């Protein structure tokens, strides 16, 4: 008897009521630089083909996809094979913005669109008016709203000693350096620091270092305002002053560009000096050469309750008169005439000397002190 085997194929059809879903999450870097366009739901069936596009906002442009994607195609087609975090990265473009009045402020931000080319303006494109005298507008300055070394476009470090003995004048005991530890901008102000340390320059040693800054800007007549806090240590000699740019002193920035007459023919205006033993006293002084070439000077002092807080040290210079002020109060006035020839461009100097004629004896325990400057501003008549 022949056996027959019957194969019975039974097909089972399995079905489920729930589809398997994956989620899509979208991100843009930087925020508000653009958007991701996707016409669909954020939860889709596994294996779904989707199309996305990155759209930039001005002034940005699309760079690449990242997250769970990689590439630069835009738009891009992808398969949703798992949960996806999709990131569109953008970068700012180098857009040239229109500046009709050529004052350095783009028209889109310019609230004063008719200022003259090259005029000193604020971030809104408007003239900066002096807070004490509205007949003056700012022509140069430094607000110290940055970090690090003083702006090299604005300031020059004078480090070469002009005295033949390898030092500075007036019996001073420091070397000046361009090291950031002696002059630096931090937290909105310039710090000029005098430090007790042995320092050798060109074979000559000194026991103190400091900084001496020259402004690269020169001006003839106008007003200078410097907001500063002064050092309080015995032996420190801080100064805010100007010299005629025709001095041609060794190591200064302007050299012989404006002439070479030396000191005191160049003229010197000491807007603020402070001695090393009385930190409540200020000196305002003028130095010059008479028509016959003799040295001459004139100055006065004033007393302050404190110079360790911010004060505004100012000078107003016209062809007829020069005034020196603190907190806008005049304490020295000198007539300017043919016998007192302050009629040439000057530049600003900022420094702390140690010891010497006006510094006096230095405290033997001295280690470090600073002059802190919030701003330096130069104004001229409208």
Q: Where are the alpha helices (DSSP H) in the chain?
A: 356-359
Cβ burial of 164 (10 Å; 0-12, 13-18, 19+) is exposed
Residue 170 near residue 360 (C-beta atoms within 8 A):
no
Helix H or strand E encompassing 273: strand 268-273
Residue 174 near residue 354 (C-beta atoms within 8 A):
yes
Q: Which two tokens stand for residue 218?
A: 């020169």
Read out DSSP for 82-140? Answer: S-EEEEEEEEE-------TT-SSS-GGG-S-TTPPTT--B-TTS-BPBPSS-TTEEEEE
**What is the Cα–Cα distance from 30 to 294, expressed in whole angstroms?**
67
**What is the Cα–Cα distance from 123 to 325, expressed in whole angstroms?**
28
Active site residues: 268, 273
């Amino acid at each position: 008897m022949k056996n027959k085997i019957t194969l019975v194929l039974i097909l089972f059809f399995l079905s489920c009521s729930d589809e398997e879903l994956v989620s899509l999450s979208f991100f843009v870097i930087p925020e508000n630089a653009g958007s991701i366009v996707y016409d669909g739901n954020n939860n889709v069936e596994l294996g779904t083909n989707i199309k996305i596009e990155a759209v930039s906002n001005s002034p940005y442009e699309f760079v690449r996809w990242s997250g769970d994607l990689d590439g630069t195609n835009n738009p891009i087609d992808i398969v949703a094979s798992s949960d996806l975090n999709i990131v569109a990265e953008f970068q700012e473009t180098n857009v040239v913005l229109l500046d009709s009045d050529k004052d350095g402020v783009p028209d889109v931000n310019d609230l004063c669109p008719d200022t003259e080319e090259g005029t000193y303006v604020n971030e809104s494109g408007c003239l900066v008016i002096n807070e004490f005298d509205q007949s003056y507008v700012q022509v140069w300055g430094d607000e110290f709203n940055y970090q690090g070394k003083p702006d090299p476009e604005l300031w020059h470090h004078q480090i070469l000693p002009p005295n033949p003995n390898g030092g500075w004048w007036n019996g001073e005991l420091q070397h000046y350096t361009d090291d950031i530890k002696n002059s630096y901008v931090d937290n909105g102000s310039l710090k000029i620091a005098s430090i007790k340390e042995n320092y050798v320059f060109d074979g000559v040693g000194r026991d103190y270092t400091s900084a001496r800054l020259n402004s690269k800007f020169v001006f003839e007549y106008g007003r200078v305002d410097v907001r500063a806090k002064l050092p309080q240590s015995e032996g420190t000699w801080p100064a805010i002053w100007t010299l005629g740019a025709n001095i041609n002193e060794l190591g200064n920035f302007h050299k012989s560009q404006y002439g070479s007459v030396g000191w005191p023919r160049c003229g010197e205006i000491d807007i603020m000096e402070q001695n090393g033993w009385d930190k409540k006293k200020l000196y305002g002084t003028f130095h010059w050469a008479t028509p016959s070439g003799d040295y001459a000077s004139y100055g006065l002092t004033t007393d302050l309750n404190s110079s360790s807080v911010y004060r505004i040290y100012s000078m107003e210079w016209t062809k007829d008169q020069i005034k020196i002020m603190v907190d806008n109060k005049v304490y020295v006035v000198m007539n300017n005439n043919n016998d007192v020839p302050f009629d040439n461009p000057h530049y600003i100097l900022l420094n702390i000397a140690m010891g010497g004629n006006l510094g006096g004896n230095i405290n033997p325990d001295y280690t470090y002190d600073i002059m802190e400057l919030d701003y330096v501003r130069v104004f001229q008549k409208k």
